[in-house]
């Protein structure tokens, strides 16, 4: 229910092939950073089957107590005659026991991990090296989930989405491997997911049925002989969206440039839209035959030994692997090393920009170094994680600070160090650089000169201590994630796929102890030596310039049209007629409902497998007296935090005048990053890093429901400025002191840094509106319907771009005026009276931590400064529909339509969540994604204010998608749900209610419920109504959703040509009013 914005975060799209939080956790486990690649590791297939347990004798600076070894972990792993037990090891860092097996007959490699964790994880991965940029592994990743030999419905993946308690269900395509992970806390559900996924990857319908390839990959589409020929396909459209994003093009160009000539990494496994239509079905099917075989598989199973015994895990795998031998007759799946280049070189690539954009086009300039062709040792990988933080981990870091201060560009790019591919690399640069070789040369020279200077002067001890603590905290905190089992799998695969030790990425104590010892002896020289060795003395250096080309988008579109026209001209009348019939046949197949007999083959849960009661989060509510007679609220949550303390401090944003709200993101970022009255930015940043796990200021907003589960009033909202931090319990005093410093003592008078922040934020927002247009379209609509939506849009919608541009101009031309505004805003917000303090800690730490709260509040003003706060909102947007076209340079569209379908005070029933979720996974999936070719689609329904919002993602259509939205009510009436479908819909909705959360997220969720006034009784009533949903509730919802069709407003993010084309098809009253965004 809550929108949370970090001060420097851009909007990110929903991703089917990757989750950011998972990537962060997996990267932490692997010690990797956010660069081009994320570091490799090692598999020892011949290691003896002996149990080894490694422990470090060096005390960690981040001291977290470890409980006794759980019985479910202590048990000895089972054996099975079909499997050779290769080795068994304890990973003390995360309290898991890992057994490695080899399937004797097929050669499949298996990891079985025993953990005290209710969330069970399975994954199977294959090395999938590519030979061209047709996207074959990416298309195959989509396609194998569209039916299989045993589970013959059209899309078992979506059936699982509809009716599973899954906590994770996805697939990932990497440049050299493809992964299929699933997770569930329910044992029966987990086995169901595993069975469906194993049949999908080993025996998919796609290798026998070309219509799957046509749907998911590409096909010609022709509605009538006289009409133009077009390309359609889910992956084709997805990659058109990717190739519309300058940031995505930069990543791909950098990988290609660093690995120039490499048979795998120099091409795009995701698929280049220009190459995808050259992929044939035979080549697609052959790729599966060559690589999707157990002899090329890495299989991972993780869970509680009591609920998921190893013997059962192995027996299940044997039932699927027994039919396979060790030979598949495929090609060599080994990944070759890239030889070192003898001399530095330069590469230039174009990227599309809008010729009509208000801002002048700019280039990306990046320097990248590819490391030598050999694996890195564990201690060196960990050291590189620390070095990356020293160089780029924060705005005051040794390399990032001079790059930002140079004013040569708007934001730092490249990501630094990483190694998820065969070889590690380091890359850094700037975007927003003036065009031309002179500017490119200045950026290149600055990077090289800065690195040379760092090597000469070294790193200060305080900086080293801060970065060491940051990396160590990140490693230890990984175990707090509810998806840690999945993160462990992704970390293991980063070495396993290269034939190296998959357990090594899970360990860090030995490498950390070695690094600490080395640092204690030599200080920052450890990292200077690493910098010299891997970067400064490394001749494999590429300078990449990504240059703007206003005509490129038009050229690409024209080339595609000419190509299709040439194909059309080669076809005879009979062939054109056949193509028409193929188009109709594919659409008919896509629209056809599954045979009930096929659906019945899928393993499912029943509603009797569900828990009837809600899960509560412990909370204690107290008041704390503050000076002047005021009171603050203290919320405490006793949770299993493993010795960590999580802190939130909130202040009411409604104290601000509404005109100040758009400037809150800038204020948040300045408070998070700048220095204080006593410490400059660098010193304060290092102190925060050395004493805490994290500390920063952001915003949290939410619509507010009325009591009893009724829709809230559109002019009521909860909006807060929120400080959030975490630390080990022993350092709670420092956490609270630093939090008070950040809130009350940040020195805002820093025009140079404000300008740099505004340039960075603007660059990120301009990139995000192209790549995540669905978020911006939905935000534009939300602003029409409620105060909360209006505030959200000001904070992170298209209007925020206008605020950033205006603030940047003011910061450069009249800084005192902008500073006065920011100071006034802070004074209006900060007050101990009315503050909300939220604490989550374990029983041992909670009481002692709470004792620091009065001191924190005492550092704040006892009352806020007078202001003209008080927000007003007009309901005009609800009464008069709008049709807005937000114009950006993109090859795809993002289409949204919305309206509140419940009136304020009208009670919202739990069944609405069942119906809206079902529509996402059934009707919209089939019409907008499968038939329409969009990469994603959604129906978001807010139980807080009753607003329904349709949206699509990377959509080749616009008018047709709006038509599909408007047909939702008719679909519900004409497709009554049978008992089986109804049961699946209920199960899927309960799965969303019970999604696992990290410990700190549970504390925040409980705080949110308190702020919104949501009681445990109301939550139980909602759950009861979800479980009691009937088919009649679906029909009743149809009348509600028809209101969106009749009176809803529309917002789309699309190209100028797509908007113009849609307006030809749309009725005059529904035509889009185009408005340039960039």
Q: What does residue 493 show for φ and ψ, rounded to 5 degrees?
A: -65, -25
Write the secondary structure of 859-890 as one string of H (helix), E (strand) and C (coil): CCCCCCCCCCCCCCCCCHHHHCCCEEEEECCC
Q: Outline where DSSP puts E strands in 92-198.
A: 96-103, 109-115, 120-127, 166-169, 172-173, 177-184
Both ends of the chain: CA-CA distance in Å? 30
Alpha helices per DSSP H over 478-609: 484-496, 509-522, 525-531, 552-570, 573-591, 596-600
Nearest to 167 by CA among 125, 129, 120, 127: 120
Nearest to 884 by CA among 1078, 1059, 1051: 1051
Q: Could you give the maximum distance between any two Cα atoms of the chain, in Å?
A: 88
- Which one of 93, 141, 159, 333 is the catalytic residue? 141
* Contact of 203 with 285, CB cutoff 8 Å: no
* Contact of 891 with 241, CB cutoff 8 Å: yes
Angle between helices 187-202 and 156-163 (to 10 degrees): 170
Write the secondary structure of 817-852 as one string of H (helix), E (strand) and C (coil): HHHHHHHHHHHHHCCCCCCEEEEEECHHHHHHHHCC
Q: Are strands 109-115 and 297-303 parallel, antiparallel or unpaired?
A: parallel
Q: Outline where DSSP puts E strands in 156-296.
A: 166-169, 172-173, 177-184, 219-221, 230-232
3-state class (DSSP) for residue 114? strand
- Which one of 216, 305, 681, 766 is the catalytic residue? 216
Q: Which residue has the tokens 């939130």?
A: 648
Q: Give the span between the Cα atoms of 867 and 860, in whole angstroms.
A: 17
3-state class (DSSP) for residue 245? coil
Burial class (CB in 10 A: 0-12, 13-18, 19+), 1069: exposed
Is residue 216 part of the annotated active site? The answer reads yes
CA gyration radius for the chain? 28
DSSP code of residue 967: T
Q: Which residue has the tokens 């009253």?
A: 1069
- The token pair at 167 is 């906590």
* Contact of 723 with 648, CB cutoff 8 Å: yes
Count of C-beta atoms within a 10 Å radius of residue 79: 15
Q: Are strands 363-370 and 166-169 parallel, antiparallel or unpaired?
A: unpaired
Between the CA of residue 794 and those of 127, 662, 665, 750, 766, what are the distances in Å?
45, 5, 10, 24, 15
Query: In what side-by-side order are the strands of the sheet with 1049-1054?
Result: 936-941, 947-953, 894-900, 1049-1054, 883-887, 1073-1076
What angle is formed at CA 649 by the lines to CA 647 and CA 654, rounded to 5 degrees? 155
- The token pair at 858 is 């005492």
Q: What does residue 784 show for φ and ψ, rounded to 5 degrees?
A: -80, -20
3-state class (DSSP) for residue 676? strand
Residues whose CB is less than 8 angstroms from the CB of residue 973 and which lie 6 or more positions away in sequence, other chains included: 1035, 1038
Q: Which residue has the tokens 């660098």?
A: 682
3-state class (DSSP) for residue 357? coil
Residues identified as active-site: 141, 216
């Amino acid at each position: 229910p809550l929108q949370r914005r970090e001060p420097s975060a851009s909007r990110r799209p929903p991703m089917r092939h990757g989750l950011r939080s998972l990537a962060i956790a997996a990267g932490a486990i692997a010690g990797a950073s956010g660069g081009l690649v994320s570091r490799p590791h090692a598999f020892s297939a011949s290691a003896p089957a002996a149990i080894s347990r490694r422990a470090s004798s060096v005390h960690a600076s981040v001291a977290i107590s470890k409980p006794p070894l759980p019985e479910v972990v202590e048990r000895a792993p089972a054996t099975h005659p079909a499997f050779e037990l290769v080795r068994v090891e304890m990973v003390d860092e995360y309290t898991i026991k890992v057994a490695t097996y080899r399937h004797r007959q097929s050669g499949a490699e298996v990891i079985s991990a025993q953990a005290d964790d209710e969330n069970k994880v399975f994954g199977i991965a294959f090395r999938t090296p590519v030979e061209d940029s047709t996207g074959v592994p990416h298309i195959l990743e989509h396609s194998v989930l569209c039916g299989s030999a045993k589970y013959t419905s059209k899309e078992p993946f979506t059936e699982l989405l509809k009716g599973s308690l899954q906590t994770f269900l996805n697939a990932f395509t990497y440049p050299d491997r493809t992964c299929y992970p699933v997770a569930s806390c329910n044992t029966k559900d987990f086995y169901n997911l595993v069975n469906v996924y194993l049949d999908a990857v080993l025996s998919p319908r796609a290798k026998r049925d070309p219509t799957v390839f046509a749907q998911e990959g590409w096909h010609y589409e022709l509605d009538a002989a006289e009409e133009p020929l077009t390309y359609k396909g889910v992956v084709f459209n997805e990659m058109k969206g990717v190739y519309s994003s300058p940031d995505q093009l930069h990543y791909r160009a950098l990988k290609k440039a660093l690995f120039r000539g490499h048979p795998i990494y120099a091409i795009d496994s995701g698929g280049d839209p220009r190459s995808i239509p050259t992929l044939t079905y035979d080549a697609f099917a052959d790729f599966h035959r060559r690589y999707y075989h157990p002899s090329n598989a890495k299989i991972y199973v993780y869970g509680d030994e009591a609920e998921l015994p190893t013997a059962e895990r192995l027996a299940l795998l044997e039932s699927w692997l027994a039919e396979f031998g060790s030979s598949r007759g495929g090609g060599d799946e080994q990944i070759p090393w890239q030889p070192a280049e003898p001399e530095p070189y330069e590469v230039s690539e174009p990227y599309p920009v809008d010729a009509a954009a208000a801002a002048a086009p700019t280039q990306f300039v990046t320097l990248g170094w590819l490391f030598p062709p050999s694996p890195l040792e564990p201690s060196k990988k960990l050291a590189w994680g620390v070095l990356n933080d020293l160089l780029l981990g924060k705005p005051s870091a040794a390399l990032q600070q001079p790059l930002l201060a140079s004013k040569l560009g708007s934001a730092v790019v490249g990501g630094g160090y990483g190694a998820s591919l065969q070889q590690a690399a380091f890359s850094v640069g700037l975007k927003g650089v003036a065009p031309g070789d002179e500017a490119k040369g200045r950026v290149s020279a600055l990077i090289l000169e800065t690195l040379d200077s760092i090597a000469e002067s070294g790193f200060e001890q305080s900086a080293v201590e801060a970065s060491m603590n940051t990396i160590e905290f990140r490693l230890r905190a990984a175990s707090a994630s509810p998806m840690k089992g999945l993160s462990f799998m992704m970390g293991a695969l980063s070495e396993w796929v290269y034939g190296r030790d998959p357990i090594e990425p899970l360990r860090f104590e030995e490498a950390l102890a070695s690094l600490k010892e080395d640092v204690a002896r030599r200080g920052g020289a450890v990292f200077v030596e690493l910098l010299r060795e891997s970067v400064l003395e490394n001749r494999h250096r590429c300078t990449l310039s990504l240059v703007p080309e206003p005509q490129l988008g038009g050229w690409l579109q024209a080339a595609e049209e000419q190509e299709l026209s040439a194909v059309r001209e080669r076809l005879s009348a009979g062939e054109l007629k056949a193509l028409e019939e193929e188009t109709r046949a594919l659409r008919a197949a896509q629209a056809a409902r599954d045979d009930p007999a096929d659906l019945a083959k899928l393993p499912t849960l029943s509603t009797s497998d569900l828990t009837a009661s809600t899960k509560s989060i412990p909370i204690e509510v107290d008041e704390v007296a503050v000076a002047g007679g005021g009171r603050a609220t203290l919320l405490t949550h006793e949770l299993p935090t493993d010795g960590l303390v999580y802190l939130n401090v909130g202040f009411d944003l409604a104290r601000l005048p509404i005109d100040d709200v758009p400037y809150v993101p800038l204020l948040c970022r300045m408070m998070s990053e700048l220095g204080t009255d006593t410490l400059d930015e660098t010193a304060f940043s290092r102190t925060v890093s050395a004493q805490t796990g994290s500390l920063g200021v952001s915003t949290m907003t939410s619509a507010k429901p009325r009591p009893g589960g009724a829709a809230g009033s559109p002019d009521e909202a909860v909006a807060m400025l929120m400080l959030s931090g975490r630390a080990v319990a022993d350092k709670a005093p420092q956490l609270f002191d630093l939090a008070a410093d950040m809130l009350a003592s940040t020195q805002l008078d820093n025009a140079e840094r404000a300008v740099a922040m505004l340039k960075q934020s603007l660059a990120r927002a301009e990139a995000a509106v192209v790549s995540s247009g669905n978020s911006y379209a939905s935000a534009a609509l939300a602003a029409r319907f409620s105060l909360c939506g209006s505030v959200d849009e000001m904070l992170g919608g298209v209007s925020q771009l206008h605020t950033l541009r205006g603030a940047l101009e003011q910061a450069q031309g009249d800084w005192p005026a902008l500073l006065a505004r920011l100071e006034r805003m802070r004074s209006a917000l900060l007050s101990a009276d009315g503050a909300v303090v939220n604490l989550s800690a374990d029983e041992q730490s909670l009481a002692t931590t709470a004792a620091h709260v009065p001191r924190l509040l005492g550092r704040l003003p006892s009352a806020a400064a007078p202001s003209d706060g008080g927000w007003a909102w007009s309901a005009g947007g609800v009464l008069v529909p709008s049709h807005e076209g937000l114009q950006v340079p993109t090859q795809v569209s993002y289409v949204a339509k919305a309206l509140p379908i419940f009136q304020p005070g009208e009670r919202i029933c739990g069944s609405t969540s069942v119906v809206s979720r079902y529509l996402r996974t059934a009707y919209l999936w089939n019409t907008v994604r499968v038939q329409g070719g969009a990469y994603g689609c959604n129906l978001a329904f807010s139980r807080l204010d009753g607003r329904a919002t349709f949206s699509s993602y990377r959509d080749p259509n616009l008018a047709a998608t709006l038509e599909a939205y408007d047909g939702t009510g008719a679909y519900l009436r004409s497709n009554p749900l049978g008992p089986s479908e109804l049961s699946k819909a209920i199960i899927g909705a309960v799965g969303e209610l019970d999604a696992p959360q990290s410990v700190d997220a549970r504390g925040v969720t409980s705080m949110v419920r308190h702020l919104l006034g949501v009681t445990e009784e109301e939550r139980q009533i909602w759950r009861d109504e979800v479980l009691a949903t009937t088919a009649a509730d679906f029909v009743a919802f149809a009348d509600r959703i028809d209101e969106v069709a009749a009176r809803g407003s529309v917002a789309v993010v699309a190209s100028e040509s797509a908007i113009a084309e849609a307006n030809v098809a749309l009725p005059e009253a529904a035509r889009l009013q185009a408005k340039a965004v960039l």
